[in-house]
Structure 1
Amino acid sequence: MADFWHTLVTQRGDLLTALGQHLILSVVSLLIALMIAIPLAIWVIPKPKTANVFLQIAGVLQTIPSLALLGMLIPLVGIGSVPAVISLVVYALLPIFQNTYTGLTEIDPSLEEAATAFGMTRWEKLHKVELPLAWPMILSGVRTALVMIIGTATLAALIGAGGLGTFILLGINRNNNTMTLIGALASALLAIILSFALREIKQIRLKPLLITVAIAVLGGGGFGIYKLVQPQPVSITIAGKLGSEPEILINMYRDLIEADNPNVKVTLKPNFGQTSFLFSALKSKQITLYPEFTGTVLESLVDKPKQQATSANGIYRQAKKALQQQDQLSLLPPLKYNNTYALVVTRAFAEKYHVRSISDLAKVSNQINAGFDLEFLDRTDGYKGIQKRYGLNFKTQSMSADLRYEALHEGKVNVTDGYSTDSQIRQYDLVVLKDDRHLFPTYQGAPLMRTTTAKAHPEIVRSLKRLQNKISAADMQEMNYQVNVQKKSAAKVAHHYLVAHHLLGGER
């Protein structure tokens, strides 16, 4: 409990931000679903066959796994809030549509006849008789949809939309159960509070409620337009992949840029997602820059050169040239350390089977139960490359990158993939196997941004270039250890390094 309260107090600012993002995503999605489902249900009342078709479609949409739906939307609308809202709306349609249709079609026919006898028009019957009578049923569907939206919205963090899922992902990534628990509890509490508030709305008349909602929507739209027409300072968004290392780097980028350029407003989006998500977001102008690795560029993001360089400088130059020609992106000068892929085993396993290199695994391949993350399994410089260059085939299973070290430590797997600067290597006293056939290319981190942005803001480029050839592998592993194991803030760790190495003046 002491750790819980300490984390809650120290992370309260981030928690409130995530809570606000989660609330906005949920409310906006619910309002859009209401505006689609309720009018549609009213329209199909005289058309039961059409209503049945819509019910079937809504039911099928709800069976699509949320991660799959997000993945299908990314090529169409990019990443961030838009695909998250679309997904949440899709899942909210069925309960609202179904309850509205059921509530309106199960009204006592004698009441309908009485309304007709009084000479009411179709519209008058709807808003004076039918909707008020169906309101409790409609509201029940809305409450169901809201709870579903709030729970599903935690996945929005996987595509850079923020929310309480960020806390859950960070907790898993850093093996911090307290952060995961705080994110889950906050999400559950939000669902309970909003569901209770909706239950109390049963006592409110429908017409005043609809007027209030309309005023809120119009007011929000007006405020948005006002913000758009106001002159804005230079604003850039820096995103990072999942994990402590990208978060440390983007905090360094922010500190350097803001120190040199007080008129620039920097927004950070840590734990934004995997490589493909960030690359798509950069090209679609949803983010301004993010830290990428030279080896990843050549292996995953551009067409491979016919003859790939082997030196660190050669790999950087090839990656820089290919990005510029293919996507008009600028890869700035890299950091010093090489955060390459690695196969990792426990010290006990290495000593028992006398394993020191990847080639040594051939003599114990029938004893291997490997756990790799999905990206490593599918990469030519990952398990596919190991199969081809080393001639190795052994039992593998896919698992979240955040959980693979814990699985190795607990003996659930005996080989896993990692990166040379991972803090868990030091934390669990693991052994990195030598890449004796030189499969893994050099992976030096470097800021990646659009060329148009680099040309428009040379002052930002100058600030970022101050990190050129800085940060050794030992430095990076130590900083990762401080964040993941010692639970220090990534922002403070990054700032301390910059000050200690005379890249910034003054401690926070």
Structure 2
Amino acid sequence: MQTIWQTFLARRSDLWVALGQHLQISLIALIIAVVIAVPLAIWVQPHKRIANVLLQVTGVLQTIPSLALLGLLIPFVGIGNVPAIIALVVYALLPIFQNTYVGLADIDPAYREAERAFGMPRYLQLLRVELPLALPVIIGGIRTATVMIIGTATLAALIGAGGLGTFILLGINRNDPALTLIGAIASAALALVFSAGLAVVQRLKWRQLGWLAAILVVLGGGAAGYHAWQQPKEEIVVAGKLGSEPEILINMYKQLIEQADPNVTVTLKPNFGQTSFLFSALKSGKVDLYPEFTGTVVTALAKPSQAQQRQIDAGADSYPIAKALLAKSGLTMLKPMQYNNTYALVVKQSFAKAHGLTTISDLTKLGRTRAGFDLEFNDRADGYKGLKQAYGLNLAVSTLDASLRYQAIVKGQVVVTDGYSTDAQLRQYHLVALRDDKRVFATYRGAPVMKAKFAKAHPRLVRALNRLAGRISEKQMQEMNYEVGVKQESAAKVAKAYLQQHGLLEARHE
């Protein structure tokens, strides 16, 4: 409990920001879902066939995996709040539509006969009789949708929308249960508050509900207007993948850009969960730049020609090839940093010593060893697929999320896992990266990726970011990862310290 409390005190300002983001996304999604589902359920009351079709459609929509839905939405609507809200609305439609339809259908026919006897117009029948009678059932559906929305909204952090999912993802990624618990507890508390608020709403009269809706609209519009007024400068969106290293790099980018050009504001979008999400966001213009690695470009994001592939296989520098491949899509990659953050097969130091392991080839002596790889590595040509072909490995592989692989090897659930050469966990858990003696892994040198038009329009930004070219060794990057991922230092603070120490940032810059 003491650790959780200390983490809460250290992160309380970030928690309030995340809570506000989570509340905003959830509330907007809930209102939109109600506005769609309730009138739709009213309209289909006399049309049972259409109602059954819509119930089936909303039921099918709810079965779509959330990550798949987010991935499908990004190419069309980009990243951030919009795809997150659309996904949440999709999941909320079924309980609201179903409960509204059932609540209205189950009204005693005697009430409807009385309505017709008094000659009430249809809208008065709904407002004064049917909706008030069905309201408890409708509110029950909205409550169910609310809990679903708040729980699912944690995934919004994967596409740059922020929210309490940021705490949960960081906690898992850094093996910090306190962060995960804080995010989960805050999400559960938010669901309880929403549910209690709906119980109050249920007792309000229609006129009071109208005033409440008007107040929410005014407050929302005012907040949006104030936000727009507060940001007259050009906004540059810099995103990063999940983990401490991308977060450190994007903070370096932010500080270098804002020092070079005071007329811009840099907005950071950290902790994207999938490379494909981020690359799609860049191409669609929802992100201006992000740190990528040359090896990822030539193996996952673009297809090299046969001649280029032969160069890569022979150990040639992958940067010129990656830059040429990106240029075909109207993108460019700035000059890369020094360190090579390549893939690695990782084992415990004690295990390597006991079995005489120094290279990946040595693993073939062990037979069918238990391994745990993340899904991307397991399916990549320069991952396990390539290792099997080059080394003849036949490991007993289980796939798991990248953030869980080090926990699995520390607990002895697997013997071998994949990692990166600059991971802080190598030092933290006394692990060793086996040497890739057959050079299956490509060279992974990091550099900012952006649209070529954007780079041409922002020469000061390009010059500022190119100051990192050829800098940062593997040892320096691993140490910075250790400070952020293990010692829980702020990524912005660690990034600033490096830039100042190496004369890239003025000491007075904040």
TM-score range, shorter chain: over 0.9
TM-score normalised over the length of structure 1 = 0.95
Query: Which has the larger displacement, 5-14 or 481-490?
Result: 5-14
Q: Which runs of 5+ in 1 are unaligned?
A: none
Deviation at 1:81, TM superposition (A): 2.2
Deviations 1:183-210 (A, max 9, x none): 0011001111111011011221023313
Is 2:104 aligned against 1:104? Answer: yes
Structure 2 unmatched ranges of 5 or more = none
Q: What's the CA shift string for 1:62-107, capped at 9, x where partnerless?
A: 2333233333333443433222212211111111111111221222
Show the counterpart of 2:355: 353
Q: Which residue matches 2:470?
A: 469
State the match for 2:344 in structure 1: 342
Query: Taking structure 1 as reference, are residues 28 and 190 closer, same or farther at Cα in structure 2, changes over 3 Å only?
Result: same
SS in structure 1 of the partner of residue 287 of structure 2: coil
Residue equivalent to 1:496: 497
Note if contact 1:343-1:416 (Cα within 8 Å) is conserved in structure 2.
yes
**Aligned equivalent of 2:488:** 487
Q: 1:277 to 1:41 in 2, by over 3 A?
A: same
Return the offset for 1:211. Answer: 4.5
- Give the equivalent residue in structure 2 for 1:28: 28
Task: Check whether the contact 2:78–2:285 (CA below 8 A) recurs between aligned residues.
Answer: no
> Is 221-230 or 155-164 further displaced after alignment?
221-230
> Could you give the per-residue CA deviations for residues 33-57 of structure 1, whole angstroms, max 9, x where no partner exists?
1111101110111112222222222
Distance (whole Å) between structure 2 residues aligned to residue 80 and residue 231 of structure 1: 18
Q: Is the 8 A contact 1:15 1:164 kept in 2?
A: yes
Whether 1:125 and 2:125 are equivalent positions in the alignment is yes
Letter in 1 for 2:454: T
AA aligned opposite 2:504: L
| Separation of aligned partners in 1, 2:103 and 2:207 | 17
Residue 364 in 1 paired to residue 366 in 2?
yes
Name the structure 2 match of 1:314: 317
**Alignment match, 1:446:** 447
Say yes or no: does 1:80 pair with 2:76: no
Q: Which residue of 2 aligns with 1:506?
A: 507
Partner of 1:14: 14
The corresponding residue for 1:248 is: 248
Which residue does 2:152 correspond to in 1? Answer: 152
Aligned 8 A contact 1:330 1:450 in 2: yes
RMSD between aligned residues: 1.9
Where 2:200 maps in the other structure, the secondary structure is helix
Within 2, Cα distance between the matches of 1:452 and 1:359? 45
- Give SS of 1:240's match: strand
Give the Cα–Cα distance (whole angstroms) in 1 for the partners of residues 485 and 222 of structure 2. 43
SS in 2 for 1:330: strand
Residue of structure 1 in register with 2:335 after alignment: 333
User: CA shift at 1:30, angstroms?
Assistant: 0.6
Q: How much has 1:409 moved relative to structure 2?
A: 1.2
- Residues 448, 94 of structure 1: alpha-carbon distance in 2 compared, 3 angstrom cutoff: same
Distance 1:359 1:260 in 2: 48
Q: Distance in 1 between matches of 2:210 and 2:452?
A: 48
Deviation per CA, 1:304-363, whole angstroms, max 9, x where unpaired? 132333588831111111111x21111000111111111111122212221111111111
Deviation at 1:115, TM superposition (A): 1.9
Distance, in Å, in 2 between the alignment partners of 1:415 and 1:77 is 39
2:71 maps to what in 1? Answer: 71
Q: Distance in 1 between matches of 2:488 and 2:357?
A: 33
Distance 2:260 2:201 in 1: 52
1-side partners of 2:21 and 2:443: how far apart?
Answer: 37
Q: Which residue of 1 aligns with 2:198?
A: 198
Query: Aligned residue for 1:409?
Result: 410
CA offset digits 1:276-325 (Å, max 9, x no partner): 1111010001111000001111111112132333588831111111111x
Deviation by residue 1:116-139 (Cα, 9 ceiling, x = unmatched): 221111111111211122122211
Question: Is the Cα–Cα contact under 8 Å of residues 240 and 270 in structure 2 kept in the other structure?
Answer: yes
Aligned length: 506
The reply on whether 1:323 has 2:313 as its aligned counterpart is no
Please list, as runs of the form range in 1=range in 2, the aligned pairs for 1:210-225 lying within 5 A after superposition: 210-214=210-214, 216-217=216-217, 220-221=220-221, 224=224
Question: Aligned partners of 1:175 and 1:341: how far apart in 2?
Answer: 20
Contact 1:160 1:273 in 2 (8 A): no
Do the aligned partners of residues 312 and 253 (structure 1) sit closer, same or farther apart at CA in structure 2, a change above 3 Å counting?
Answer: farther
Between the aligned partners of 1:399 and 1:432, the Cα distance in structure 2 is 19
Following superposition, the deviation at residue 223 of structure 1 comes to 6.6
Deviations 1:421-456 (A, max 9, x none): 001111111121111111111111101111111111
Q: Give SS of 1:436's match.
A: coil
Change (3 A) 1:11 1:50: same
SS in 2 for 1:270: strand
Aligned-partner Cα distance in 2 for 1:102–1:148: 20
SS of equivalent to 2:401:
coil
Q: Distance in 1 between matches of 2:267 and 2:223?
A: 21
Separation in 1, partners of 2:343, 2:283: 26
In the alignment, the residues of structure 1 paired with residue 160 and residue 199 of structure 2 have an alpha-carbon distance, to the nearest angstrom, of: 32
Deviations 1:454-504 (A, max 9, x none): 111111111111111111100000001111111111111111111111111
CA distance in 1, matches of 2:378, 2:79: 24
State the one-letter code of the partner of 2:62.
Answer: Q
Q: Which amino acid aligns with 1:335?
A: M
Name the counterpart of 2:266: 266
Farther-moved stretch of structure 1 (274-283 vs 43-52): 43-52
Task: Write the distance in 2 (CA, Å) between the matches of 1:460 and 1:162.
Answer: 25
Give the AA of the match of 1:137: V
Residue 233 to residue 20, structure 1, CA distance change in 2 (3 Å):
same
Distance 1:171 1:483 in 2: 12
**Corresponding residue number in structure 1 for 2:41:** 41
What CA distance in whole angstroms lies between the structure 2 residues aligned with 1:313 and 1:163?
A: 42
What are the residue-to-residue correspondences of 1:452-463 with 2, within 5 Å? 452-463=453-464
Partner residue in 2 for 1:208: 208
1: CA distance, partners of 2:276 / 2:294: 15
Displacement of 1:218 in angstroms is 6.3
Offset at residue 222 of structure 1 (A) = 7.4
How many angstroms apart in 1 are the aligned matches of 2:269 and 2:377? 24
